[in-house]
Amino acid sequence: MDRNLYCKNPWNCLELNNDGKCFFCNPCFSNFNLIGNIFEDSIEEIWNGERAQNFRRDVMERKYTYCNYENCNGNKTENLEYNSTIAPLPEYINIGYDYTCAQRCIICRDEHQALPPEICKKWEDALETHILPITKNVKYMFINCRGEFFDSAHTQKMYAAIIANNPNIKVDFISNGIKCTEENLKKHNLLDKIFRVHISLHAATRETYKKIFRVDKFNDVMKNIEFISSLKKSGKLEDFEIMFVITAENYKDMPKFVELAQKLDARAAFSACIGGYAEYIMNRENYAVFYQNHHNYNDFVKMLKNPIFNDRQHCFLPDYLRELKPVSLKHSIKNKIKYFARTKLNMKLEQTKDDISIFSHDTYK
Ligand code: SF4
């Protein structure tokens, strides 16, 4: 990966995360290097304090000490556009602390989760004094990367207040799509505000969807996705992305997923992140098909040679996945035997050094 690029995020992005922690981007990308806390520090201390300036200086020198540079999706350019470690208030804000969601997909969580009322109150109490002032210059708001907007009365309330205070904000919107209907988008004053939509779908067929989301809602989601697609096709939406976290349960859907993106005028965005505390991470030796020691690894690598993945307009596939090479037949057979012993014979296998090193790709730590 070319480290000659400059990331713009530290000059214009702010992410509000759990317990008021502030970051320049997704904390998994910036290795949890926070720049301040919205409940404890002033806006100036957060945005132009010592930690923020050190981070910017490091990016200006292209050292990327604080960054997971290879895996992050930063806004990187060839030329350095900034000549100071001091920056005006952010233009892009990411409201990323509310994990409330009525679903429990295997990638993310095993239980339904909601932000406790006392935490909601803490954020709502800080609205006038801390949140609205820092959104003064904001042009784009990302909402809500950690949970589901339509399942959270709290996030809806925060969003309404921020938009009332700064009506020109454009919204970068993420949803699981289940309640993302035309009516709900209108009801929450989103229809005219959204400029980009990401739908976490992770499947191209109803059967696969059921395995990942543990509910039978694929057809409902597809109806809502068709509506979003119509916005994109009519030019009312700048960007439309359908998201796919790769697991052993869904990887065979990947070529079909790109076909779906082509039909919808969307981009299929694939990632191999392992996060959360769900079924997926607890049993990653069964799910992480992109690791060399997975029993279906060679099949996965072969599938990635499908020419449909060369349609870069409709497909984002990280380079490190494109570059994966098959393992030897001997290695592959060994993996299949281990899988059989673990799952069919219920044997508890000792992890070898090899097994552990295959996890070095993790984006989420
Ligand atoms: S390079 Fe990546 S990790 Fe670093 S600030 Fe940019 S987006 Fe974040």
Q: What secondary structure does DSSP assign to 167-198, as a single string?
A: TT-EEEEEE-STT--HHHHHHTT-TTTEEEEE
Q: Which of 9, 12, 17, 23 to mutate to test the pocket of ligand 1 (most atoms within 8 A of CB)?
A: 9
Query: Are the beta carbons of 198 and 316 closer than 8 angstroms?
Result: no
How far apart are alpha carbons 201 and 218 in whole angstroms? 9
Phi, psi of 101 (to 5 degrees): -160, 140
User: Facing residues of 94 across strands?
Assistant: 15, 142
Residue 199 has a pLDDT of 98
Residue 364 has a pLDDT of 30
Tokens of 192: 């005219």
Q: Count Cβ atoms within 10 A of the Cβ of residue 17 and give its class: 0-12 exposed, 13-18 middle, 19 or more buried.
A: buried
Average pLDDT by consecutive 10-residue portion of the chain (365 residues)? Answer: 83 93 90 92 94 96 90 84 92 93 90 94 94 92 92 97 95 97 97 96 98 96 98 97 94 98 97 64 78 93 97 93 92 86 72 45 34
CA 153–ligand 1 middle distance (angstroms): 31
Which atom of ligand 1 lies closest to the CA of 66? Answer: 4
Phi, psi of 166 (to 5 degrees): -140, 80
Query: Are the beta carbons of 98 and 156 closer than 8 angstroms?
Result: no
Residue 357 has a pLDDT of 39
Residue 212 has a pLDDT of 94
CA 74–ligand 1 middle distance (angstroms): 5
Residue 276 has a pLDDT of 54
Q: What is the pTM of this model?
A: 0.88
Q: Does any ligand 1 atom lie closer than 6 A to the CB of residue 68?
A: yes
Query: Are the beta carbons of 269 and 242 closer than 8 angstroms?
Result: yes
Helix axes 254-264, 218-233, angle to 10 degrees: 40
Q: Does any ligand 1 atom lie closer than 6 A to the CB of residue 25?
A: yes
Number of CB atoms found within 10 A of residue 191's CB = 16
CA 130–ligand 1 middle distance (angstroms): 24
CA 67–ligand 1 middle distance (angstroms): 5
CA 51–ligand 1 middle distance (angstroms): 15
Residue 335 has a pLDDT of 86
Buried-exposed string 246-265: b where 16+ CB fall within 10 A, e elsewhere: bbbbbbbbbbebbebbbebb
